[in-house]
Structure 1
Amino acid sequence: MQEKIIILDFGSQYTQLIARRVRELNVYCEIHPFNHLPEFDESVKGIILSGSPYSVRQDDAPQVELSQFHNQYPVLGVCYGAQYFAHYSGGEVIPSTIREYGRANLQYIDDSHALLKNIPEGSQVWMSHGDTISSIPDDFEVIASTDTVRVAAYHIKESKTYGIQFHPEVTHSSDGKQLLENFLVDICGCSQDWTPDSFVESTIASLREKIGTDKVVLGLSGGVDSSVAAVLLHKAIGPNLHCIFVDNGLLRKDEFEQVLDSYQHMGLNVRGINARDRFISQLTGIKEPEQKRKIIGRVFIEVFDDAAHEVQDVKWLGQGTIYPDVIESVSVKGPSATIKSHHNVGGLPDFMKLKVIEPLNTLFKDEVRKVGRALGIDDIILSRHPFPGPGLAIRILGEITAEKVAILQEADAIYINNLKTSGWYDKVWQAGAIFLPVQSVGVMGDERTYENVICLRAVGSVDGMTADWSHLPYELLAKISNEIINNVKGINRVVYDISSKPPATIEWE
């Protein structure tokens, strides 16, 4: 049985980051909302309580019954989690006299405690809280302090329960990784055996057991997630996996032919379907972004369902759903309103009577790539930038026509090729060209033009939840702009988007 750490989420912006840090230490963990507790069985090695935007003093503050796991499992309370334990054990939590946010240094450390092993005095930590633990119960002991926070860390005597007022998961906490490793290894006894290779081995065995000799259909997109999911399933059930790759007419230039060829060289049982005209005709006259998404989703399901019905006795639908999608769909406050309709997490129309299999639904994006490398998948696929489900439909602002798609494909191809030849493609998390619904005056030769505008977008990010615009060199932007204007008929102006997320989103629609 795979050992694991349970992270109880109280709504902190850092909860996923805690999980990422735990997994970087080769320990499997799961995030569960405080109000949707999992089953605590023998596979659980320890529990981490996250931070929260709430104060423990608020009437509507998140609450969890501590007795069901306190003294049964090692527990680490982080920020709100630490304050919660102190508050409900008889200590006092009060508003800070000044908001404690940013860098601080541990001036006192009792390194006789396993949690603080190899952490030096003066170690920098990251504070982010509006409350302070002013007093602790008699069975608590202070094990670290800063010059302004006396209870920066505590231990409950005769237990394996600890609380820390700072955030070890952020990079600003210089010894945060050491502290987490101390908790996971020395206190929880984790064996640190969760690696890409072990995931591949256990997942393939689990898929074989679960699916048996049943047939599975899976929709490939050309992206990392569906490709890795397909190879895992293929290694588990071989030709009983039937892959369907739909060309919706909204892919990048020549992408359908290139990706289909690469899939076939990987040995996948894949069928390509050209449905370009069907998608474009359904989108005629549609301008509203969410309506575009819904149409594309509906037509895709129709095309996919037609193809799936040609495979006899299919029992399962394979999906490339990854962990952030799952977390967002069951968040602390219920299903997140920010999920766009094309994510379709675990969703199927009623008429598709198939069971769902999601081999990647416990992995983050970077972990999917590591698993892909362990499976031997070509880096050309693994290094591909994320691409929106609706494709170029949401990079053409306003109404979609075949002419606009062709123009955008040409401009986008010039942009992406230049990023690759200049060495910038792998430095950027996601890039693409956007067709703007405006025209501007230009001069080409001796003639006045009134043509379209292309906007270039490139961002750096880890998981897409936040992103900063990429500072591409002016010389490279000038070269790309010149090539697009000179080679793509209908474009006479190129602009560059320098907005970050938040407040802007990565895509324009």
Structure 2
Amino acid sequence: MTQPPAAPLPAASPAATPRPVLVVDFGAQYAQLIARRVREASVYSEIVPHTATVEAMLAKNPVAIILSGGPSSVYADGAPSVDPALFDAGIPVLGICYGFQAMAQALGGTVARTGSSEFGGTAVTIAGAGELLAGSPAEQSVWMSHGDSVQAAPAGFDVLATSSGSPVAAFEDRTRNLYGLQWHPEVRHSPLGQRALENFLYTGAGLAPDWNPGNVIADQVAAIRAQVGSARVICGLSGGVDSSVAAALVQKAVGDQLTCVFVDHGLLRSGEAEQVEKDFVAATGVTLKVVDARERFLDALAGVSDPETKRKIIGREFIRVFEQAAREVVADAGDAGAEVKFLVQGTLYPDVVESGGGEGAANIKSHHNVGGLPDDLQFSLVEPLRALFKDEVRAVGLELGVPEAIVWRQPFPGPGLGIRIVGEVTAERLEILRAADAIAREELTRAGLDREIWQCPVVLLGDVRSVGVQGDGRTYGHPIVLRPVSSEDAMTADWTRLPYDVLAIISTRITNEVREVNRVVLDVTSKPPGTIEWE
């Protein structure tokens, strides 16, 4: 049964990194979501690729293992398989969808294509609740996505559920603490899915709901001190929640060894440079060095339209600016023998996953602080948030006392407006986009929608022009795209249904006040298939 939430966040104190629940990724669309749902159950989780050996998995000292779904058929040539030795290791295991079928096949069950696929909402009948489905009604709706099904469970397993296309839709072997579900408990379309996950974690694996993002503070403060020692550290501060929370964590660990460097790269939104200099310093008292590099970045981006190239240029120039800033930090301190060895970055887990640096992840786009770093980087990186999702970062920030105005600021990408201009980045295009973005933000705030949406990127289609009519004359202006989205962690998102009257005001103001724009359009794409940012 679902247990009550964990106790309030404990006071920070040195602690060991928790033993993880490992999510083995078989190429699933929802692998990251499984890891999130485990964390929502107050249990720590990490993702590993299906190519990891059993020995490598056990070396992480897991408390439980979850096998994700995936696009393959278990009996197809070259399909990922599960080493049966995993099930003899004494670790509780839950298989989901493909992971469920791979478990069944590895243990002697039968998996076959029946010709009766199940996609989307599906009714299942509970044949025996057991531990995994305790508290479930006799009939329930779940979210399926499969063409194969388990025809016969392995020896020693009890069948817990069936559906019209799945003779065995769930099973368990309590003696060995092995469990499986054909459906996806991690998605919200399976209303009782979280209960099933928690039954596995709390009852099947015997785990306590005692992890929360606040635990990260104690772990990371100790880890940062051990990594940094007495060396000087600089942090790339953008004013967003990620870099601000990372800076606050490092400052808590090493105090005045940290200098934050704010690079005004000319790709910021209206008023952001002033906000960073005032709000963050006032809230934290951190030492802040401001670098005006607007001309440098514009020169480096001149003539470049390819989004990946833009990201890598911005990442490279960031590092070069930091290297110069580090030398100046030492010079300003009057310590000629000192050296800045560490660079703090607000890298998050979705950044790592989308940049192909996650376990088993495809390279969707290079984030400037992951895929865009130069090979000759002169710093060692300190990335205290690298294992966290955005909502977990916010929880850490609140626990650290970072002001809510910063913690709840809408996400803004490190490459800034450089990846919100489709096409070449120029000073003129930046001014057009800043003006349109400022209007959109102002009206969303006026309507009280800041907390209703995750963020609203405003995109300038720099290489596109459309015909319009203004003042009884023909115009040939740029389109502006509004991209309001709702999300929990940026791994998945849906477009936000903003009120029509708010959209109308934004559109009217932009086309009236930004003379180069004659058309405003709304992006109504979810993620997947589209990413939140256009580039």
Give the TM-score normalised by structure 2.
Answer: 0.88
Aligned pair partner of 2:498 in 472, 484, 500: 472
1:169-212: CA deviations, max 9, x gaps?
11222221111111111121212111132222232223223322
Matched, 1:36 2:62: no
TM alignment of 1:127-166, pairs within 5 A: 127-156=144-173, 158-166=175-183
Deviation (angstroms), 1:247: 0.4
Alpha-carbon distance in 2 for matches of 1:429, 1:128: 28
Aligned pair partner of 1:96 in 94, 100, 114: 114
3-state secondary structure, aligned to 1:342: coil
Deviation (angstroms), 1:73: 0.9
Residue matched to 1:455 = 481
Deviation (angstroms), 1:456: 2.6
Report the CA distance shift for 1:262/1:157 in structure 2 as closer, same or farther (over 3 A): closer
Residue matched to 1:241 = 258
Deviation (angstroms), 1:149: 2.6
Alpha-carbon distance in 2 for matches of 1:273, 1:356: 20
Contact 2:316 2:373 in 1 (8 A): no
Single out whichever of 381-390 and 271-280 deviates more from structure 2.
381-390
Deviation (angstroms), 1:307: 0.5
Contact 1:71 1:160 in 2 (8 A): no
Alpha-carbon distance in 2 for matches of 1:304, 1:424: 36
Alpha-carbon distance in 2 for matches of 1:5, 1:460: 28
Deviation (angstroms), 1:461: 2.9
Aligned pair partner of 1:61 in 54, 71, 79: 79
Residue matched to 2:453 = 428
Report the CA distance shift for 1:444/1:145 in structure 2 as closer, same or farther (over 3 A): closer
Matched, 1:418 2:443: yes
Residue matched to 1:260 = 277
Aligned pair partner of 1:402 in 411, 427, 432: 427
3-state secondary structure, aligned to 2:214: helix
> What letter corresponds to residue 347 of structure 2 in structure 1?
T
Alpha-carbon distance in 2 for matches of 1:242, 1:304: 11
Contact 1:466 1:501 in 2 (8 A): yes
Contact 1:107 1:147 in 2 (8 A): no
3-state secondary structure, aligned to 1:412: helix
TM alignment of 1:13-412, pairs within 5 A: 13-37=29-53, 38-40=56-58, 43-111=61-129, 113-156=130-173, 158-265=175-282, 266-310=284-328, 311=330, 312-328=338-354, 329-330=356-357, 336-340=362-366, 342-345=368-371, 348-412=373-437
Aligned pair partner of 2:28 in 12, 17, 21: 12
> What letter corresponds to residue 165 of structure 1 in structure 2?
Q
Deviation (angstroms), 1:230: 0.8
3-state secondary structure, aligned to 1:298: helix
Contact 1:45 1:189 in 2 (8 A): no
Alpha-carbon distance in 1 for matches of 2:395, 2:152: 45
Alpha-carbon distance in 1 for matches of 2:306, 2:165: 53
Deviation (angstroms), 1:422: 0.5
1:227-270: CA deviations, max 9, x gaps?
11111111111111121110001100111111121121122222
What is the root-mean-square deviation in Å for CA atoms of aligned residues? 2.4
Give the TM-score normalised by structure 1.
Answer: 0.92
Contact 1:263 1:270 in 2 (8 A): no
> What letter corresponds to residue 409 of structure 1 in structure 2?
R
Report the CA distance shift for 1:500/1:127 in structure 2 as closer, same or farther (over 3 A): closer
Aligned residues: 506
3-state secondary structure, aligned to 2:175: coil
Deviation (angstroms), 1:451: 4.2
Deviation (angstroms), 1:95: 0.4
Deviation (angstroms), 1:42: 8.4
Identity %: 48
